[in-house]
Homo-oligomer: A and B are copies of this chain.
């Protein structure tokens, strides 16, 4: 999927919501546990209930790997289900991978080719040759960690390197990498004031924003500082939507929560773009 297609989706749906599929068997409705593949069944119902309100789904790969082979199968079925039924949805493998060149190529192959995701998240610590193998794939997107939404973000990401925070150095350096137009960045919503700084460095890039809702970030604040003239944001919500209810009405309740976010986004998109 091209960024232009993603932007078209955002305009059509008046939404820049990404639903995070972080499926923990301890948190899903108990009645699903009797089914052969509870993770996939849970995802399928959530996807069917929310696909018209969001523009992206982001399975966090950890939650699948934790269940071994069964988890991997559920991941495969989930991505196939989205691609088969809702091909306009942008898909993000939240994997936070990164390794030396030839190994990163294998990860890229796993997520872009074998599983056919539109994008994958990567970590920057190993530098250019750990990320460029991902960037080589046409119409695929590499979402690099810049400033994350957790407490530990302040351990290294905000340390001053030549008078400039490390995450800014990461953003700037990455702009010189080959096929850097395929880069997007993770910037956490819990630090809305930082978006102004981020936008000075990467005005045109899409930003994937975790931390709205459960982690305390404000949608309005993030939009105020982080939007560009093509929206340029994908706001992720995981737990706030998928665990809105632990009863048999979980999909319906998930839709209600997604709808609330979409409506707020709709207001923002309308105001900003006069559509």
Q: Which residues of A contact B (CB under 8 A)?
A: 22, 24, 60, 62-63, 65-69, 71-73, 76, 94, 96-101, 103-104, 106-107, 109-110, 114-115, 123-131, 145, 148-157, 159-162, 166, 169-170, 173, 210
Say whether B63 contacts A100, CB under 8 Å.
no
Shortest Cβ gap from A16 to chain B (Å): 21
Chain B residues, Cβ within 8 Å of A107: 62, 65-66
Given A126-B152, A148-B126, A156-B169, A99 contacting B69 (CB threshold 8 A): no
Looking at A76, A100, A131, the one whose CB has the most chain B CB atoms below 10 A away is: A100
Copies of this chain, complex-wide, total 2
- Is A62 within 8 A of B104, CB to CB? yes
Q: Please, which residues of chain B bring their CB within 8 A of the CB of A24?
A: 106
A62-B99 contact given A72-B72, A125-B157, CB 8 Å threshold: yes
Nearest Cβ distance between residue A166 and chain B, in whole angstroms? 7
Chain B: minimal CB distance from A164 (Å): 10
Docked Cα-Cα span, A115 to B94, in Å, equals: 21
Bound CA–CA A121/B169 (angstroms): 25
Residue of chain B at shortest CB distance from A24: B106
